[in-house]
């Protein structure tokens, strides 16, 4: 089995999470559509406010949090697959 690259997965999850919030909240701030939904979900984040400054903060939070989640997932995956490897078959004489 191949191993996951912890840094690469962390960066991927980080960028995806940050981009999702950037697009969703940016669209909501520009149009007003989904304001209640974004505000409700955002209330679970520290330092959140429904402003352009709040958008920058929540994107930064997701960039940091996404990297940590992706890195930990890859690390756990690699640990679990390492202990569950099948032993190499010995060649027959």
In a domain, 30, yes or no: yes
pLDDT, average across residues 47-63: 92
* Gyration radius (Cα) of the chain, Å: 20
CB atoms within 10 A of CB 34: 15
In a domain, 16, yes or no: yes
Q: Average pLDDT over the chain, rounded to whole? A: 90
In a domain, 50, yes or no: yes
As a three-state string, the secondary structure of 35-77 is: HHHHHHHHCCCCCCCCCHHHHHHHHHHHHHHHHHHHHHHHHHH
pLDDT, average across residues 14-19: 96
In a domain, 43, yes or no: yes
In a domain, 29, yes or no: yes
In a domain, 64, yes or no: yes
Residue 1 reports pLDDT greater than 80: no
Q: How many whole angstroms separate alpha carbon 66 and alpha carbon 15?
A: 8
pLDDT, average across residues 17-29: 95
In a domain, 51, yes or no: yes
In a domain, 88, yes or no: no
Q: Helix axis angle, 6-31 relative to 52-83, nearest 10°?
A: 150
Residue 41 reports pLDDT greater than 70: yes
Give pLDDT tens digits for 63-93.
999 999 999 999 999 999 888 776 666 677 6
- In the chain, the number of structural domains is 1
Question: For residue 48, what pLDDT is reported?
Answer: 87
Question: For residue 89, what pLDDT is reported?
Answer: 63
Domain enclosing residue 53, as ranges: 6-83
């Amino acid at each position: 089995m191949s191993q996951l690259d912890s840094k690469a997965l962390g960066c991927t999850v980080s960028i995806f999470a940050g981009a999702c919030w950037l697009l969703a909240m940016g669209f909501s701030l520009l149009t007003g559509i989904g304001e209640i939904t974004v505000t409700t979900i955002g209330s679970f984040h520290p330092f959140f406010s429904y402003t352009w400054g709040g958008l920058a903060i929540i994107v930064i939070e997701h960039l940091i949090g996404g990297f940590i989640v992706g890195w930990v997932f890859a690390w756990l995956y690699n640990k679990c697959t390492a202990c569950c490897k099948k032993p190499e078959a010995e060649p027959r004489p």
